[in-house]
């Protein structure tokens, strides 16, 4: 085999390795043991009572959570998912608990309770708007945004929670090549626009996909885990007639 042929063979083999790494994601740990995280003896009982409705095991299995991952949790609120993610990624993994300052009034003492006395040692709290994420370029394996993208259409007391396009650019910026963005939210009726984030606290899946793709991400998978054909989509998510039963999209995007 001459020099040129050897060079081409080595080059193509290298390309295959790189491509495989990108497709399979940046983290190479084992599948995360979410069941063990859910059963942890220190987990608050009120969290466990919400598992049947929120289906965290199914959601994180769909997302492909693995041990050792670096996870950025957008709009972590009271930390229901923070607790699960922290224990599921293990001591070699990490979680950034992000929440915007304009929504701190909805959190109560949840963040303090989760992080008091370093009880979740691999969690770091970050209070920023969605377009100012505190993570380095290409440093995160998974970004999660559970029931939250609609907030970009919501301005509590007139205060922006982050620029729309800028927020998605930030998600793409912090993700490693091959990293994933898990987006889950209440479905809005077709044509409702981002304004539905303010009026109904819902958003159209297509609008989230549009912004994700414009930021350089692509759809990897989607799930009907929370689809409810009986949801008229026109009621606000806090309406007693639909609260806790909304139809939701779950989409995984990849960088």
Q: What pTM value is reported for the model? A: 0.89
In a domain, 12, yes or no: no
Condensed to tens digits (0 to 9), the pLDDT of residues 203-221 reads 999 999 999 999 999 999 9
In a domain, 221, yes or no: yes
pLDDT higher than threshold 60 for residue 24? no
Condensed to tens digits (0 to 9), the pLDDT of residues 73-120 reads 999 999 999 999 999 999 999 999 999 999 998 888 889 988 899 999
- Rounded percentage of the chain residues whose pLDDT exceeds 70: 89
Domain count for the chain = 1
CB 69 within 8 A of CB 142: yes
Report d(CA 243, CA 43) in Å as an integer: 25
In a domain, 149, yes or no: yes
Beta strands 248-254 and 175-186: pairing type? Answer: antiparallel
Residue 217: which of 193, 186, 252 has the closest Cα? Answer: 252
In a domain, 20, yes or no: no
**Structural domain span for residue 72:** 28-254
Q: Among 50-54, 128-132, 157-161, 213-217, whose mean pLDDT is lowest?
A: 157-161
Note the pLDDT of residue 8: 34
In a domain, 240, yes or no: yes
In a domain, 142, yes or no: yes
In a domain, 107, yes or no: yes
Q: Which residue has the higher pLDDT, 109 or 9?
A: 109
Q: What average pLDDT does this structure show over 169-192?
A: 98
Distances in Å between the Cα of 204 and the Cα atoms of 75, 77, 129, 186 are: 18, 22, 21, 8
In a domain, 8, yes or no: no
């Amino acid at each position: 085999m001459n020099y040129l042929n050897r060079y081409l063979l080595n080059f193509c083999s290298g390309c295959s390795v790189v491509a495989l790494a990108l497709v399979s994601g940046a983290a190479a740990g084992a599948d995360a043991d979410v069941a063990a995280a859910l059963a942890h003896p220190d987990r608050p009982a009120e969290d466990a009572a919400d598992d049947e409705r929120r289906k965290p095991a199914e959601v994180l299995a769909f997302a492909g959570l693995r041990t050792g991952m670096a996870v950025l949790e957008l709009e972590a609120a009271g930390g229901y998912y923070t607790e699960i993610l922290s224990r599921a990624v293990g001591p070699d993994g990490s979680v950034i608990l992000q929440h915007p300052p304009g929504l701190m009034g909805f959190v109560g003492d949840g963040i303090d309770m989760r992080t008091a006395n370093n009880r979740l040692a691999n969690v770091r709290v970050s209070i920023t708007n969605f377009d100012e994420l505190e993570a380095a370029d290409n440093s995160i394996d998974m970004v999660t945004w559970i029931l939250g993208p609609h907030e970009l259409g919501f301005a509590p007391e007139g205060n922006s929670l982050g620029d729309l396009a800028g927020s998605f650019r930030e998600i793409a910026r912090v993700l490693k090549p091959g990293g994933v963005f898990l987006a889950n939210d209440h479905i809005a009726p077709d044509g409702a626009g981002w304004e539905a984030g303010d009026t109904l606290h819902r958003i159209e899946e297509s609008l989230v996909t549009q912004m994700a793709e414009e930021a350089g991400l692509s759809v990897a998978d989607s799930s009907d885990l929370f689809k409810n054909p009986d949801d008229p989509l026109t009621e606000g998510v806090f309406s007693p007639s639909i609260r806790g039963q909304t139809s939701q999209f779950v989409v995984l995007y990849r960088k």
